[in-house]
Structure 1
Amino acid sequence: MRNPIFVLILFLAGTFLLAVPGFGAEDVAAAAADSTGTTDLIPVLLLVVGIASVLGMIIGLKLNAFLALIISALVVSLGVGLVDGQDAGSRMNAVVNAFGNSAGGIGIVIAMAAIIGKCMLDSGAADRVVRSAVKVTGEKKASLGLMFSGFVLAIPVFFDTVFYLLVPLARSLYRRTNRNYLRYLMAIATGGAITHTLVPPTPGPLLVSAILGVDIGMMMLVGVMVAIPAAIVGLIFSIVIDKRMPIAMRSLGGGEEKHKALMEHDLPSLWVSLLPVFLPVVLIGAGTLATTLADNEDRARVEVADIQDYDRLATLISDAPADSPAGRLVATKQLSDADRERLSTPATDDQSKAEVTELLNHALLGDDLYDETAYLGVPISKIAKNLLSADQLRMKPIDRRRMNRVLLEDAYPNLIAVHQWESPARNLANRLALWSNANFALLLAAICAMLTLKFTRSLSWRALGDDVEESLMSGGVIILITAAGGAFGAMLQDTNISTTIREFFSGQDASGISLLVLGWAIAAVLKVAQGSSTVAMIIGAGMMSAIIGDSRPDYNLVYVATAVGTGSLMGSWMNDSGFWVFTKMGGLTESESLKSWTPLLAVLSLTGLTMTIIFSQVFPFRGNL
C-alpha cells in the first residue's frame, strides 16, 4: 500500500464505484433493503475486486504477473458464477478458454517477433537500420523517426505487430547512444497507438465510422488531423518522462550479448536489414487494401431488381409473426415505426421501390435479425453458418449485411435473388488472405531474419537453432503473461460491466461540445473496465449512435467518432494486452509501465479530445463531404 500508483488506482476505482447510480453512500442501505437494486451493482463490485486483486498481487506482493493475472481472472470468474448460478468448474473452464483464445491470437505472432528481434540484433541488421536512420535524422531526432515509423505502419497493421517489429531498432539505438531507451519505446508506442484508434482501415476506427455513418475517407482525413498533434504532444511527453525516470535497457532473457558487435563493413546491407520489418508490413498492408477495395463494392447490398415480388414482401412484413425471419427483420432496432409502416405498404412505382429497397438495406445492418427459434426449420446455408459463428461484436457492417441477406435468401428463396459475393476484387483479397495473415507474414519475416543471421555470422544450422531456441524461451514468457492478461480482461467482460456502463450513460442528453465529451467518457470508462480499445470503440460508438438518434450536431459526426477513438486510449492498465506488450517486449517492470505507458496513453487521449473539440468548431465539415 506504500506505492503511490497502487493507492491512486484504488482511489480511482472507488471513485468510479461511487459514481454509479445506486452505489453512493446514501444508497447503500437502500440497496441492502432492496435486493433487486444490488444486482446492478455486482459488475462494479467485481470490477473493483479484480482491480484490487491484480494490483495487490503484482505491486503489493511482488507476485509473478502470470500467476497474479490467472488468479485474479479466476477470482472474478468465480464471482460471475456465484451471481449467475454457474458451478465453479464451468467458470474455471471459462478462464481456460479465454486464455486459449488469447494465446491463439497472439502466440505465433509474439514467438515470431521474438525470433525477429534477436536475429536482427545479433546479425547487425537492427544496427544497420539505426545507423542509416541516424544519418538522415540525426541522433537527437532518432525518437522522432521511431514515432513517425509507428504512426505510419500502424495504419494498415495492428499496433502489437508494429511494436514487435520496431522494438529491435529501439534496442539497437540504445546500444549506439547508451541513453534514452524509455524515450525510444514511448516514441514507438506514441505513433502506433494514436493511429490504431483513429485512422481506418484499422478495424476499430473502421467499425466506429460505419456505426456512426461516417464516410471512411472523412474518417481517415480527420483521424490524421487529430492524430498528428496528439503524436507530437505524446513525443514531448515521452522526452519529459525519459528525463525524469531514465531506464537502462535490460536483457529479455534471450542471450542478446552472445555475439560480439560487428564492424560497420561487416553489417548486412540496408535492404536486407529492412526486409524483416517491411515484408510483413507490405504483405499485411496489401491484404488490407485488397479487402477494403472489395468491401467498397458492397455486393451484398440489395438492388431494386433483386426483389422478385414487392407485393409479397409487403404482405410478409405486415403479417409476419414475431418468431419468424420476416418478424425479426421488421422488429430490428434499425427501423423506426414509420419505416415499418412503409415496408408493409406495397411498392407500385420506381420511386417507392427504391425507398423500400433502401430501408431493407438499412435493416440488413442490424445485429438482432437472427434468432435460433425464428429460423427453426429453415435450411441455413454453410455461408450463413460460418458468418454466424464469427465474432459478432467485431463484425464489419459489410459482413453483417452479407450474413443477414444470406439468411433472408435461405428463408425466402423466391423473394430475394441470390447475390453474387465473389468479384475480381474479392478473389484478389481471398488469394492474399494467407500472405496477409499476420501469423504467416511474421513467419516469413522470421525466416528472413534467421537467414540473415546465419550468413552474416557464418553460423551452422545447429548454432542458429540454439539462438532461435533462446529467443523462444523469452518469447514464451511474454506469451503466457499476455494471454493471462487477455483472460483477465475477458472475465471482466463476463461481469457484464459494459451493460452497467451502458445503463449508466443511457438517457444522457448532450449536444455540441458536451456530446464529444460524453462520447470520450463512455469509451474511456469502457476501456478501463474491460481493457480492449476496439471493444470500447465499438460499444461506445453504438451507444453514441443511440444517444444522437435522428438529431444532428452542428458538426460532422466524424468528430464524435474521433472522440470515441481517443477515449478508448484512456486508462490502459493490466487488463490491456498493449500494456503487457509494451512491458515485456520492452523489458520494463509493471510499475515502470504504469508510470510511463499508462500516462502516455492518457496524454494522447486528452490531447486527441482537445483537438477534436477545436477542429469541430473551426472545421465543422457540415454535411457529407
Structure 2
Amino acid sequence: MAIEFAHSPLVTFILALAAVILLLVVWDLPAFVGLIISAFFVGIINAVFVPDFSGADAASEVAAAFGDGMAGIGIPILMAAIIGKSMLESGAAQRIVRGFQNALGESNSDIALWGSSTVLAVPVFFDSVFYLMAPLARSMRARVGRDYTLFIVVVGAGAATTHVFVPPTPGPLAVADQIGVNLGMTILVGIATAFPAALLAGIVYGRWLNARLDIPLRDAMSTTTEELEDIANRKTSTLPGVFESLLPILLAVVLVGALTFVNSLQNVYPSLSAVEPYVAFVGNKNVALTIAAMVAAYSYYRHNEMERDEWTEELTEALKSGGNIAAITAAGGAFGALLAASGIGDYITGILSGIGIPLIVSAWLIAAIVRIAQGSATAAMLTTAGIMAPQVGQLDVHAAYLVMAIGAGGNIFSWYNDSGFWLVKEIGGLTIGETLRTWTALTTIISVTGLVATVTFSTILPMA
C-alpha cells in the first residue's frame, strides 16, 4: 500500500538515475541485468509512494512492460539480425557501399548514408531503419578503414530526425491528429524543419566528433571484424549484384510503406479498400522484416560456399545475438515505463503548463522534460500534444509549427531509459560512453536545432 504523504516523483527519478548509473557504469553489470534491476527498484519505490500501486505490481508491471516491449520489437530485431548477418557476410552490404562510393566518391560516403537513412525513415520506423542501415555503416568502415564514428552518427541523425518531424512517421502523425492540423502542411513544415536539424546533427556534428573520437569496428550482429575486412577486400565481381543486394531493404521499405500509400488513395480510389487487409498484413513490420530476412538469408546461402547445416547454424548465431539485443532494448523500455508509472510526466507537465512563456517554447520544454524523465519520444510527444491541444486557438502562427516544437522536444537527450539508446549501442557495437557522445548528443542537437528552426520559420512565415 502506498504511504499517504507528499512525495515528489522527482525524487523517484533521481533515485532511478543513481541506480542505473551504479549498476551499469560503476559495477558494469550486463545491460539487461542492470536495467531490469533498476526497473524493479523503481517499482518498489512506486509501491511505497504511488496510490493504487501495490507491492505485487512492482514485479508484474516490470514483466508486463518488458513483454510489451518484446511484442513491439522482438520479431523485428530477430529478423533484422538475420538481415544484418546475411547482408554483411554475403557481401551485399559491401556491394551497396561500393555503389555509393562509385556514385558520390569515397569522400562523400557519409552523405550517402545520411541521405539514405533520412529518406528511409519517412515510411519506416526508426528502429527498422537503424537495423537496415547499421550493416552498411559497418561495411563502409571495413571498406575505408576509418570514420566509423561519422557513419554511426549520420545514420542515427537521419533516421531520428525524420522520426519526430515528418508524417506519416507515427509520432508526428499522431500529434498532428491530436492538434487538429492539416497533414499536408505538417509534412511540408516537417521537411523544412528536419533538413537543418539532420544536417547539423549528422554531417556537421558527425564530422566534428569523428576528428576527435575514433570508434573501432568491434564484433557485433554476430559478425567479426575479421570477416568484414575479408569481405571488404573481395573483388566486386564476386559480390551479389546491386539489385539483389538492395532487395531486402527495398522489400522492407515498400511493404511497410504500402499501407500508407493505399490509405492515402482510398478516397480517390474506393476499390482499394478490398486489398487493404492484405496490404496491412504484409505491411506489418513483423511480416515485412520476416520476408526481407528470408530474401537476405537466401542470398547469403547462394553466395557463400557452405552446407545447409552450416548455413542454419550461422542464422542461429545471428538469432542469439538478436535475442540479446531485443532483451536489452525491451528492458530499457520497461525501466522507462516504470518511471512513467511514478507520475513523473504529470508532475512535470503540471508545473510547466502554467508558466507564462510562448506556446511554441512551452510545448518544446514540456516535451523535452517528459522525454528525459520517462524515456519514450513518442510518449513525450503524445503527452504534450494532449496538454497543448486546447491552447491551439491562442496560437498566432500555423498549428503545424506546434507539432514541430513538440517533436523537437520529444527527441532530446536519449539516455538509459530509452530503448532506442540500447538498440543503437548494441547493434552499433558501441560502449555506453560512445553511445552518449554519438546518439545522446545527436538527439539533443536535433532537438535544439528543431526548436530554433521552428521559431525562425514561424517568425518569417507565420501562415496563421
Q: TM-score by structure 2 length?
A: 0.95
Q: Which residue of structure 2 lines up, in the alignment, with residue 57 of structure 1?
A: 23
Which of residues 591, 600, 603 in structure 1 aligns to 2:442?
A: 600
Segments of structure 1 that go 5 or more residues without pairing to the other structure are: 1-34, 298-421
Could you say what secondary structure the match of 1:434 adopts? helix
Q: Which residue of structure 2 lines up, in the alignment, with residue 121 of structure 1?
A: 88
Deviations 1:367-406 (A, max 9, x none): xxxxxxxxxxxxxxxxxxxxxxxxxxxxxxxxxxxxxxxx
User: Higher mean Cα deviation, 55-64 or 439-448?
Assistant: 55-64
Could you say what secondary structure the match of 1:575 adopts? coil
Q: Which residue of structure 1 lines up, in the alignment, with residue 374 of structure 2?
A: 530
Cα distance in 1 for partners of 2:27, 2:450 equals: 36
- Rate the CA distance shift 1:195–1:258 in 2: closer, same or farther, 3 A: closer
Cα distance in 2 for partners of 1:618, 1:468 equals: 54
Cα distance in 1 for partners of 2:64, 2:5 equals: 31
Cα distance in 1 for partners of 2:371, 2:302 equals: 46
Pair member with larger Rg: 1
Q: Percent identity?
A: 39
* Partner AA of 1:71 in structure 2: I
Cα distance in 1 for partners of 2:307, 2:463 equals: 62
Which of residues 383, 386, 395 in structure 2 aligns to 1:542?
A: 386
> How far is 1:237 from its partner?
0.3
Give 1 or 2: higher helix fraction.
2
Cα distance in 2 for partners of 1:79, 1:197 equals: 32
Which of residues 83, 106, 109 in structure 1 aligns to 2:73?
A: 106
Which of residues 357, 361, 368 in structure 2 aligns to 1:517?
A: 361
> How far is 1:85 from its partner?
5.5
Q: Which residue of structure 1 lines up, in the alignment, with residue 424 of structure 2?
A: 582
> How far is 1:105 from its partner?
1.0
Cα distance in 1 for partners of 2:456, 2:5 equals: 41
Deviations 1:406-443 (A, max 9, x none): xxxxxxxxxxxxxxxx9534333222011101111111
Could you say what secondary structure the match of 1:550 adopts? helix
* Partner AA of 1:609 in structure 2: L
1:479 aligns with 2:323: no
Residues 304-383 of structure 1 mapped to structure 2, 5 A cutoff: none
> How far is 1:458 from its partner?
3.0
Cα distance in 1 for partners of 2:394, 2:450 equals: 24
Could you say what secondary structure the match of 2:281 adopts? coil
Cα distance in 2 for partners of 1:86, 1:567 equals: 29
- Rate the CA distance shift 1:204–1:474 in 2: closer, same or farther, 3 A: same
Q: Which residue of structure 2 lines up, in the alignment, with residue 218 of structure 1?
A: 185
- Rate the CA distance shift 1:109–1:135 in 2: closer, same or farther, 3 A: same
Cα distance in 2 for partners of 1:85, 1:109 equals: 35
Could you say what secondary structure the match of 1:509 adopts? coil
> How far is 1:602 from its partner?
0.7
- Rate the CA distance shift 1:90–1:551 in 2: closer, same or farther, 3 A: closer
Residues 172-191 of structure 1 mapped to structure 2, 5 A cutoff: 172-191=139-158
> How far is 1:293 from its partner?
4.0
Contact 1:76 1:492 in 2 (8 A): yes
1:436 aligns with 2:272: no
Could you say what secondary structure the match of 2:252 adopts? helix
1:158 aligns with 2:130: no
Cα distance in 2 for partners of 1:424, 1:280 equals: 25
Could you say what secondary structure the match of 1:433 adopts? helix
Cα distance in 2 for partners of 1:90, 1:231 equals: 41
* Partner AA of 2:362 in structure 1: L
1:278 aligns with 2:122: no
1:287 aligns with 2:259: yes
- Rate the CA distance shift 1:244–1:427 in 2: closer, same or farther, 3 A: same
* Partner AA of 1:467 in structure 2: E
Q: Which residue of structure 1 lines up, in the alignment, with residue 394 of structure 2?
A: 551
- Rate the CA distance shift 1:255–1:613 in 2: closer, same or farther, 3 A: closer
> How far is 1:258 from its partner?
5.2
Cα distance in 2 for partners of 1:220, 1:258 equals: 42
1:614 aligns with 2:432: no
Q: Which residue of structure 2 lines up, in the alignment, with residue 81 of structure 1?
A: 47
> How far is 1:195 from its partner?
0.7
> How far is 1:289 from its partner?
1.9
Contact 2:359 2:395 in 1 (8 A): no
Which of residues 208, 219, 222 in structure 2 aligns to 1:240?
A: 208
Cα distance in 2 for partners of 1:157, 1:488 equals: 25
- Rate the CA distance shift 1:86–1:159 in 2: closer, same or farther, 3 A: closer
Could you say what secondary structure the match of 1:251 adopts? coil
Contact 1:44 1:497 in 2 (8 A): yes
> How far is 1:592 from its partner?
1.1
Contact 2:81 2:221 in 1 (8 A): no
Which of residues 139, 147, 153 in structure 1 aligns to 2:106?
A: 139
> How far is 1:36 from its partner?
7.6
- Rate the CA distance shift 1:292–1:579 in 2: closer, same or farther, 3 A: farther
> How far is 1:292 from its partner?
3.9
Contact 1:59 1:591 in 2 (8 A): no
Cα distance in 1 for partners of 2:199, 2:392 equals: 35
Q: TM-score by structure 1 length?
A: 0.71
Contact 2:345 2:370 in 1 (8 A): yes
Contact 1:255 1:470 in 2 (8 A): no
* Partner AA of 2:394 in structure 1: S
Cα distance in 2 for partners of 1:282, 1:53 equals: 43
Contact 2:259 2:276 in 1 (8 A): yes
Aligned length: 456
Q: Which residue of structure 2 lines up, in the alignment, with residue 66 of structure 1?
A: 32
Residues 389-404 of structure 1 mapped to structure 2, 5 A cutoff: none
> How far is 1:221 from its partner?
0.2
> How far is 1:550 from its partner?
3.4
* Partner AA of 2:395 in structure 1: R
Contact 1:183 1:241 in 2 (8 A): yes
